[in-house]
Every structure is written in C-alpha cells, then in structure tokens.
C-alpha cells in the first residue's frame, strides 16, 4: 500500500486514515487540526505496511472508510501502537459478505465487468446524488483504470485468504443512503459496537471535511 504524509510537523498526535478502494491523496487532502500529523493510506494492491511511519507518536487516531476498514483492521490487529480512538465509516470487517458487507455476486460482477463505464456507474452510486458526484469530481483521484482493477482483484484475494481482523473499533458511522455497503449489512456487522446512523451516501464530502478537521464531536481530541 501507499503511505503518504499529507501533514508532517513532528506533532505528538497522528491522524491515521485508511481510505477506500480507488482513492488517492487528491480525494482526502483536507486540513487537519493543529497538533496533529496526518498519514493517508491507500492503493491496496499489496498490504505491506511500514510501521516506521508510526514511530514517535504519543497518540494515534485511526479512521477508515469503505474497504479501508478491513485493511486497517488487518494491519493493526496485532499492533501495540497507542491508538486512542478508532472510527469506521461506511465499511465493515467483513467487506465481501452477503449479510455483513458487499454481497459476493455484486463484488464479483464489478470485478469481472470492470471498465470505464463500470467505474462511472460505481462512483454515481457511491456519491448518491448529482451534487455528491460534483463534489467528488472536485477531488477526483488520478489513478489508471488498470491499476484500480488490480487493486480490486488484490483485495478480493486477500479478504478471502485471511481471517477476520480482530482490531477493536470504538465506533462505526453508517450511511443510511449507502448503495455500496448495504445499510442492513453494516448494522448487522457492527452489532455490539457504538453506531451513528447518518442520512448520507457512501461518500459524503461534508462528513469527511468535518471528521478530518475535528469538527465532528467526540472523534479526536482538540
């Protein structure tokens, strides 16, 4: 995977964000609070994670979105880093699952029929509305189509080969308009975990602005 510091000032706190499939730094290059560094993880064609990026931080706040929820859980399950708070957004630790994630047939159909048209349709469903698509395109990732297909295939292989991550999530945000991870599946997957249900699509620009800036109450320490 790619690990990219979008803010690195030697602060004692780190905001560690695992983005979803197909993302890059353009999609999530947003301001974060003073006192925090900001490390973005994306491009999961491999799951290699350099733990040296986390050294020296006194507090780490983990956020993950979509397929990044599973990736974060896998990477951090056996780690002993000072994670203070963890937040999952519109994803689950069972990312390819008929009852707790994206149904197998839908995931497989997207992979086998992947094309430019497929990607456009996916992003429309991901954003929910024309306004949402417009907001997304203002930060559109710059990644080749074949690279995205490779990432999707790699995620399928890794999810099927590995056990469910045991990383502890403090809270999950569930988008009630999510057309990628079905709402009922998310709610079933997060039974026993604090859930916040919001009337948003799978990708919501305003939500991520608030989460990354610290305006979303109770997420990070200001």
Within a domain: 221: no
Give 216's pLDDT tier (boundaries 50, 70, 90): confident
- What mean pLDDT, rounded, does the chain reach? 95
Mean pLDDT of 112-132: 94
The three state secondary structure string of the chain is CEEEEEECCCCCEEEEEECCCCCCCCCCCCCCCCCEEEEEEECCCCCCCCHHHHCCCCEEEEEEECHHHHHHHHHHCCCCCCEEEEEEECCCCCCECCCCCECHHHHHHHHHCCCHHHHHHHHHHHHCCHHHHHHHHCCCCCCCHHHHHHHHHHHHHHHHHCCCCCCCCCEEEEECCCCCCCHHHHHHHCCCCEEEEECCCCCCHHHHHHHHHCCCCCCCCC
Within a domain: 146: yes
Percent of the chain topping pLDDT 70: 99
Mean pLDDT of 139-163: 95
Q: What is the per-residue pLDDT for 40?
A: 98
Give residue 153's domain range.
2-213
Mean pLDDT of 23-47: 96
**Structurally, how many domains does the chain consist of?**
1
Within a domain: 220: no
Within a domain: 218: no
Within a domain: 219: no
CATH classification of the domain holding 46 = 3.40.50.1820
Q: Is the pLDDT of residue 86 over 80?
A: yes
Predicted TM-score (pTM) of the model is 0.96
């Amino acid at each position: 995977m790619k690990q990219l510091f979008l803010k690195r000032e030697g602060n004692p706190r780190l905001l560690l964000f695992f983005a979803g499939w197909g993302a890059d730094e353009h999609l999530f290059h947003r301001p974060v609070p003073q006192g925090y560094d900001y490390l973005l993880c994306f491009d999961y064609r491999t799951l290699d994670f350099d733990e040296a990026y986390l050294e020296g931080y006194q507090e780490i706040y983990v956020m993950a979105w979509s397929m990044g929820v599973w990736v974060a859980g896998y990477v951090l399950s056996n780690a002993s880093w000072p994670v203070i708070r963890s937040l999952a957004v519109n994803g689950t630790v069972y990312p390819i699952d008929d009852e707790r994630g994206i149904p197998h047939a839908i995931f497989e159909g997207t992979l086998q029929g992947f094309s430019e048209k497929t990607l456009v349709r996916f992003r429309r469903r991901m954003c929910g509305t024309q306004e949402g698509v417009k907001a997304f395109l203002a930060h559109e990732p710059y990644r080749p189509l074949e690279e995205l297909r490779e990432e999707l295939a790699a995620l399928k292989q890794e999810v099927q080969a590995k056990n469910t991550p045991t990383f502890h999530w403090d809270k999950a945000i569930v988008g009630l308009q999510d057309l990628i991870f079905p709402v009922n599946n998310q709610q079933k997957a997060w039974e026993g975990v604090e859930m916040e249900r919001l009337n948003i699509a799978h990708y919501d620009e305003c939500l991520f602005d608030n989460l990354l800036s610290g305006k979303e109450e109770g997420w990070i320490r200001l």
